[in-house]
Amino acid sequence: MAQKVKLSTIADALGLSTATVSLALRDSPLVADVTREAIKEKARALGYIYNRRAASLRTSRSGIVGVCVHDVMNPFYGEILKAIEDELDRRRQTFLLCNHYDDLAKQRSFVDTLLQLGADGLILSPALGTSVDELSMAEENGLPVTLIARSLEGSGVSAFRGDDRYGMGLVVDHLASLGHRSIAYIGGTDATSTGRDREAGWVEALARVGIRPRPEWRIEGPRDRHSGFDAVRRFLAIPERPTAIACFSDLVALGVMYGLARSGIRPGADVAVSGYDDIDEAAIAMPPLTTVANGQSEVGRRAADALLARLAGQPSDGRVVLIRPELKIRSSSTGAASAAGGRPSP
């Protein structure tokens, strides 16, 4: 490449100062229209590339927002991320993505990187075991944080997530209304707020309809399709096998359905199955999956808005916002042959 083109290259070429060029390129009204156009034209002609490092060093604003979640490949996060991406794109922020895979060291190293780059903010779904100190450290160093999907008690940081307790309650009420009196619950861990709340929703709803859950109904752990598939073996080993399975997530449920089918058990017809999240695949799965729409895009949009508001100078209100979820009844629970409707069956 030729000699690097910078502000002074343009300034010299036009007999102007770098100050004027800088202002013109950022559309300052201080610069005369003719001057501005001449400058922009010259910048284009010379192939000028704005040096954000230099600008950011001077202004201490980088235009970078970090986003860190467990795993971007998980469609649950995917839908949140799309919403965040749209919002940040519109505000011309660069969005730096990272998976932490629930590894605290990886999350910490990402936060360090953001601090070093002078990032403007962080949208985080905290890794298991994240301490409140971690977040205060970031905040104290000028990196505002907004949480998504998982909240962190006592952190004083705003969080946006679905009302998991209420949502799982909807599922269990629905299964009970179909006549099920033994409802297993597969997946998730009590190390996350999501895991705790969904499990609490299951327990509480069972209590409401007068069912006492047996310990063996609870199969903890699975959080993806593959481990859902594997969990079927444990489910089939339960004495007096439950007639319904509520799953921690759609991914787990889809794995469970594969696993049941593999064992010759028809999900929907032989065992009712439900998921959680209403990912795109739920509606076309075989059978179509009863689940809970979790407001992922609302979570993403509102979290991005909240962070951008803080960047604009507003203080954090530190509230945990629970998005109200919605039950989607499909044939994996009702056993109806077709996708539509929810005709009860025993």
Q: Is the dihedral of CA 185, 189, 190, 194 positive or negative?
A: negative
C-beta of 50 vs 131, nearer to a second copy: 50
Check binding of 55 to DNA (CB under 7 A): yes
Per-residue contact string for residues 37-56; x = within reach of a second copy by CB under 8 A:
----------x-xxxxxx-x
For tokens 């399709």, the residue is 225
Q: Name which of residues 83 to 142 contact a second copy (CB under 8 A).
A: 85, 94-99, 112-113, 115-118, 140-142
Closest CB to DNA among 31 and 148?
31
20 binds, among DNA, a second copy, none (CB under 5 to 8 A by kind): DNA
Chain centroid to Cα 338, Å, comes to 31
Q: 275 - beta bridge partners?
A: none
Of positions 4, 90, 214, 262, contacts DNA by CB under 7 A: 4
CB 215 within 8 A of CB 185: no
Quick note: the x/- pattern for DNA over 58-87, rule CB under 7 A, is xxx---------------------------
What is the spatial distance between Cα 277 and Cα 297, in angstroms, rounded to a whole number? 11
On the 0-12 / 13-18 / 19+ scale of CB atoms within 10 A, 3 is exposed
Q: Nearest distance from residue 12's CB to DNA, in Å?
A: 11
Cis peptide before 287 (omega within 30 of 0): yes
Of 252, 243, 241, 299, the closest CA to residue 275 belongs to 252
Q: Which does 265 bind (CB under 5 to 8 A by kind): DNA, a second copy, none?
A: none
Phi, psi of 131 (to 5 degrees): -95, 160
| Least distance in angstroms from the C-beta of 55 to DNA | 4
Query: Which of the stretches 30-38, 125-133, 135-143, 209-217 binds DNA when contact is defined by CB under 7 A?
Result: 30-38
Interacting span for DNA (CB under 7 A) from 22-30, 200-208, 319-327, 338-346: 22-30
Helix 7-14 crosses helix 18-25 at what angle (to 10 degrees)?
Answer: 110
Report residue 323 as tokens. Answer: 């998005």
Q: Decide if residue 18 touches DNA (CB under 7 A).
A: yes
Contact between residue 273 and residue 89 where contact means Cβ atoms under 8 Å apart = no
How many residues in total does the chain contain? 346
Token couple for 134: 């971690």
The one-character DSSP state at 281 is: G
Tell me the CA distances in angstroms from 338 to 282, 289, 343, one per residue in order.
14, 11, 10
Least distance between DNA and beta carbon 311 (Å): 15
Q: From the list a second copy, DNA, none, pick the one residue 30 interacts with, judged by a Cβ distance below 5 to 8 Å according to partner type.
A: DNA
Part of the chain binding a second copy (CB under 8 A), chosen from 13-21, 191-199, 253-261, 293-301: 253-261
> Which amino acid, one-letter code, is at 11?
A
Binding site for DNA (CB under 7 A): 4, 6-8, 11, 15-20, 22-23, 25-26, 29-33, 35, 48-51, 54-55, 57-60
Binding site for a second copy (CB under 8 A): 1, 47, 49-54, 56-57, 62, 72-73, 75, 78, 81, 85, 94-99, 112-113, 115-118, 140-142, 225-226, 229, 255, 257-259, 261-262, 280-281, 284-286, 339
